[in-house]
Structure 1
Amino acid sequence: MNYHKMSLKQKGIGLVSLLMWSVVLVLIVITSLRIAPAYIEYSAIKKNLSAIAKDTSLQNTNLNQIRLAFSRRAQIDDIKSISGQDIKISRENGRVILSVGYTEKIPLFSNVSLSIDFEAVSD
């Protein structure tokens, strides 16, 4: 008789709960997979801006050569969100500072999309 009472008190996850959590998990994974390329591209942009700013051969050149250097690197790294013309170039204490701001619109599903604002500055 004790076995019968114990089986009524068993706890666990039900089928409906399992399905609901599965749907939530799948949505999170799909969203993450769609967002990841934007962050990978942002990382490449930031890396290239820092590399160009640290390049001593470009310290005393004109702005067009700096933009051209970024465009060459962007072509190699398959950067499509920005171009060399989008980069803001300033000089501070004899150093070149490169910065860029852009918005990435990522379609998630149906008519729902995610808009992410990125701001990259060379070190």
Structure 2
Amino acid sequence: MLIIAMMVGFFIMVGLRMAPSYIEFLQVREVVTRVAEEYNREGDTIADVRRKLATLLNTNQIYGIDYKDIEVFREEGRTWIDASYEARVPVAWRIDAVIKFDDLKYEAGRSYSD
């Protein structure tokens, strides 16, 4: 019973340490989605997109990813925003958990509302 209780406690501890990173990921996804949906193909440039990302990340106090780490590029006439990143969370002593958020690639100008 004691071993099972220790294992359950370990997984609860890991979950509690990883929760803030996941909550921040949800905020990053909301910011990137908002910028992608508000993109104006005729008027906005890549610099404008980066400026909006920097402003929204700063306003929402998101520190897990910097606006410089978000790739904004054009490919085949379309503008893409790729905010994929990894978060490293210390668990115990020399044990870290790495969380990979790689589903943050959006085409600017499309609607992503559910």
Structure 1 length-normalised TM: 0.73
Q: How does 1:27-66 map to 2 (within 5 A)?
A: 27-57=10-40, 60-66=43-49
Which of residues 37, 41, 64 is equivalent to 1:81? Answer: 64
Separation in 2, partners of 1:73, 1:94: 26
Q: Which is richer in helix? A: 1
**RCO greater where, 1 or 2, for CA within 8 Å and sep 6 or more?**
2
Amino-acid identity (%): 21
Q: Which runs of 4+ in 1 moved over 3 A?
A: 56-59, 90-96
Q: Deviation of residue 95 (structure 1)?
A: 5.4
Unpaired runs of at least 5, structure 1? 1-16
The answer for the alignment partner of 1:121 in structure 2 is 105
Unpaired runs of at least 5, structure 2? 107-111
Separation in 1, partners of 2:40, 2:64: 26
Specify the SS of the correspondent of 1:48: helix
Specify the SS of the correspondent of 1:35: helix
Contact 2:39 2:49 in 1 (8 A): no
What is the aligned length? Answer: 106
Separation in 2, partners of 1:95, 1:54: 13
Cα RMSD for the two superposed structures: 2.2
The answer for the alignment partner of 1:23 in structure 2 is 6
Separation in 2, partners of 1:76, 1:94: 30
Q: Say if 2:112 is the partner of 1:112.
A: no
Give the partner amino acid of 1:103.
E
Change (3 A) 1:57 1:113: same
Structure 2 length-normalised TM: 0.78
Contact 1:53 1:96 in 2 (8 A): no
